[in-house]
Amino acid sequence: MGTPPYRIWEVIERSETGEFMEEKDFIHKRLLVEIRRAVQKYKIKYDPQSPVNADDGLADAVWNAAVETFLAIGIYNKSTHRVMAFTRDEVNEALLGLPGSYLFGAGKDARPFTARKVEDKNPPFMLYSPDITYDERDHFKACVAFLKEPLLDGICAPILENFFGHKISSHSPTELGGSLMHAMNLKEAARLVGRPGIHCVAVGTAEADSSQIHVSSQDYGIRTTDSRLVASITEFMTDREMLNKAVHYQQFGCYSGNLAGAIYGGYAGGAEGTAVLQTMYHLMGTLLYSSHYEQNFPFHLKYGSNTGREMLWIVSVYSQAIARNTKMPQTSNGFANAGPGTMMLYYETAAHALASTVSGANLWEMAPTRNKYHNRGTPLEARLAAEVGYGASLSGMTRIEANKIVKTLLEKYERDIPEAPIGKTFQEMYDVDKAVPRPEAAEQYREAVKELKKMGVPFPY
């Protein structure tokens, strides 16, 4: 599981004893400098003709650059203004201790969650996640709709924005109540569809550490067979609240993932630095939080998505860097530009699923409309990602083959990224009462699959 939890106090002590530094100095005199130095030293270069990287040497260079940079800069604690440093021996020990596989969920619904390899023929673990907020009155049925999907191995449920008619405010009673409602809706929906033991990543409604602690319950909330997320603050920082979550998850006994999204066009610079930084986050999660897996969502500073050409290159490169050099399970979280009910969303989903699957990642799909628009997320785009992931792995697709198809897909949508359509809402796409797609939405999905098959996108059936 990475750094043993019994050392968590020694690690956290560095928040009080590490080198004192102002945040701006950590960013400008340490993080920026060291990432640039490593990119130049290892001759890392973005290739726009290879949105799916097929160069093992490049992936390994990104890995080596990430380890070297991680050791050079440490992790910044915003609460104490201290740098938490680690040694190469600690990195090696943590990586050696990774089991490479976990059993997520309980009973008949338990599924193996593993560290996949590049061009792995084993299908990815499919975690469905709309990453969007839904109306309070429809939240339960939205959970049901996602949980009914056959290829779903785990779920990160729709998020609540309101609770009992009140706007949820962070660190407030409404967040406590909304988080509990989120957990209870998810659990009851899972039981209702006959998947009571399904693995849940929860709860997205809970931003505060107090809210996450509030929903920990084997009886009515988030169980030890489920997992939770603890975020890394942009870029490469933590604080006491994040550490509170990490400690609670370990003591409660559930699985945990490090939630991290390096920003393309931010402190890391271009594609090369962003790939290195996203790789570094895997080390941060393992060494600092004792995370069991890495939840990756690098995104474009301007568009807030990761399905553009340069973003797919980043996704493929860091996924391969981890898959080739560690036993660390990782997920690749898709952030699309277009919304539900558009062909563009299906093109983007297929491209992201292909690039991620052949590069050794598990799938966490799919956040439409740049994760910005209320109610705009459905199980259909997640279903498409799952079918593409299964198709790519079971067919033995190579990175070179995937790259050719992804380039064809990009020709379909990349010019529309700046003004992508926001599409339709869940309520427009689905018969909410029955939690099934409306006939026109189902027909569009079938047409999308037919077109994608003609383009060479593999499907399992």
The pLDDT, as a whole number, for residue 406 is: 98
For residue range 344-403, list pLDDT tens digits in order: 999 999 999 999 999 999 999 999 999 999 999 999 999 999 999 999 999 999 999 999
Q: Is the pLDDT of residue 223 over 60?
A: yes
Backbone angles phi, psi at 244, to 5 degrees: -60, -45
Predicted confidence (pLDDT) at residue 6 exceeds the cutoff of 90 = no
Query: β-strand 82-84 against 75-77: which pairing, if any?
Result: antiparallel
**Nearest CA-CA partner of 292 in 112, 65, 77:** 112
Predicted confidence (pLDDT) per residue in 409-426, tens digit: 999 999 999 999 999 999
How many whole angstroms separate alpha carbon 32 and alpha carbon 28? 5
238 three-class SS: strand
Q: For the chain, give me the number of helices (H) and strands (E)? A: 16, 22
DSSP string, 389-444: HHHHHHTT--HHHHHHHHHHHHHHHGGGGGG------HHHHEETTTTEE-HHHHHH
Structure tokens at 401: 């083959």
The 3-state DSSP class for residue 52 equals: coil
- Matching residue, tokens 């897996």: 293
Instruction: Report cis status (omega within 30 of 0) of the bond before 348.
Output: no
- Whole-angstrom CA distances from 173 to 118, 168, 366 are 45, 8, 30
CB 348 within 8 A of CB 406: no
Helices (H), 74-120: 88-96
Sign of the CA dihedral running 42, 29, 317, 457: negative
Average pLDDT over every residue of 173-178: 97
> 115-138+146-153+234-242+258-454: which CATH topology?
TIM Barrel (3.20.20)
* Cβ neighbours of residue 57 closer than 8 Å, sequence gap 6 or more: none
Query: Is the predicted pLDDT of residue 157 greater than 90, yes or no?
Result: no
Element at 309 (helix H, strand E): helix 309-325
Tokens of 147: 């949980």
Strand partners, 102: 113
In the prediction, which pLDDT does 3 show? 66
Per-residue pLDDT, 7: 83
Please give the DSSP secondary-structure letter assigned to residue 158: P
pLDDT at 2 over 70: no
Within 10 A of 303 (CB to CB), how many other CB atoms are there?
A: 18
In sequence order, the 6+-apart residues with CB closer than 8 A to the CB of 461 are none
Q: What is the CA radius of gyration of the chain?
A: 21
Amino acid at 113: F
pLDDT tens-digit series, residues 34-55? 999 999 999 999 999 999 999 9
Task: State what percent of residues in the chain have pLDDT above 70.
Answer: 99
Q: Where are the domains of the chain?
A: 115-138+146-153+234-242+258-454
- Per DSSP, what are the bridge partners of residue 340? none
Q: Is the pLDDT of residue 1 over 60?
A: no
- Per-residue tokens: 58: 């490049």
Report d(CA 456, CA 317) in Å as an integer. 22
Q: What is the pLDDT of residues 12-30, one digit of tens each?
A: 899 999 999 999 999 999 9
